[in-house]
Amino acid sequence: MAEYADLLYAVDGGIATITLNRPDRLNAISGPMLESFSRAFRDADLDREVRVIILTGAGRGFCAGLDLKDLTAGKGIGANGAGDLFTQKFDLSASPPVVLHNTDKPVICALNGPAAGYGMDIALGADIRIASSEAKLAAVFTKRGILPESGGAWLLPRLVGWAKAAEIAFRGVTLGAEEALALGLVNAVVPPEQLMPAAREMAAEIAANAPLAVQATKRMMRLGMDETFEASVHHVFLQLLPLFRTQDFAEGVRAFMEKRQPQFQGR
């Protein structure tokens, strides 16, 4: 098992659980955590045994965003010559938001507490969000003199529409769990003690389906965000053809005819 800094990784029953693990700092993002995050998601995406990923946080917060204590102390992300990025060649392909966006396995965010700034962007990058009643989404970027740099500027308008996204982002609004539910930013709100059972129940339901079909569906939905309808229909058809030749398709048809639950192998 690989070693991860400021992050826990476990696999059970086809479900990988990735836990941000700096509870004493409300899981504020550290440099080592960023590297571990990308590595853990890539490991889960490449692991044939993993069918679904749950992302959550340790302790009472999901993620407080970038570690401002480290920043003000002259260390950590954004410190020591951050302005030089304008003149440097840099590659964001391995950054957590991009790796998360490109992950083919379904990602459920079990939002256990406040998600602020970078933490909110990471939560929005998941496919499904189940929130504890104590969770909050804090779009505090403009209150800190920055912008939603980690996917939020792209994700938020697509999730709630331009006008509502503009209101949330420009004002720097903090949304409670029920407000986020009303806007469609989370799929469900549950009591804190029911959060992980609810997330695992949904993950198990997804994991019971044909994994190649689930992953192809996610890929086509993601690509379809920037395609015309005609292009999407064409690409979906091309994805369908190899699925017809899989053992899982044959098993799905047999199970339907035999009136039983299918047993998919991801082949």
CATH topology of domain 211-257: Lyase 2-enoyl-coa Hydratase; Chain  A, domain 2 (1.10.12)
Please state, in angstroms and rounded to a whole number, the distance separating the CA atoms of residues 112 and 90: 33
Q: Tens of pLDDT along the chain (267 residues)?
A: 578 999 999 999 999 999 999 999 999 998 899 999 999 999 999 999 999 999 999 999 999 988 766 555 555 555 444 445 455 556 788 888 899 999 999 999 999 999 999 999 999 999 999 999 999 999 998 888 888 888 889 999 999 999 999 999 999 999 999 999 999 999 999 999 999 999 999 999 999 999 999 999 999 999 999 999 999 999 999 999 999 999 999 999 999 999 999 999 999
Rounded to the nearest 5 degrees, what angle is found at the Cα of 200, between the Cα atoms of 151 and 61?
A: 50
Where are the CATH 3.90.226.10 domain residues in the chain?
A: 7-207
Please state, in angstroms and rounded to a whole number, the distance separating the CA atoms of residues 219 and 82: 34
Distance from the Cα of residue 83 to its chain's centroid: 28
What is the side-by-side order of every strand in the sheet holding 114-116? 114-116, 136-138, 174-176
Assess contact for 215 and 169: CB atoms under 8 A.
no
Please state, in angstroms and rounded to a whole number, the distance separating the CA atoms of residues 128 and 202: 10
3-state DSSP assignment of residue 61: coil
Q: Which CATH architecture has domain 7-207?
A: Alpha-Beta Complex (3.90)
Where are the CATH 1.10.12 domain residues in the chain?
A: 211-257
3-state DSSP assignment of residue 53: strand
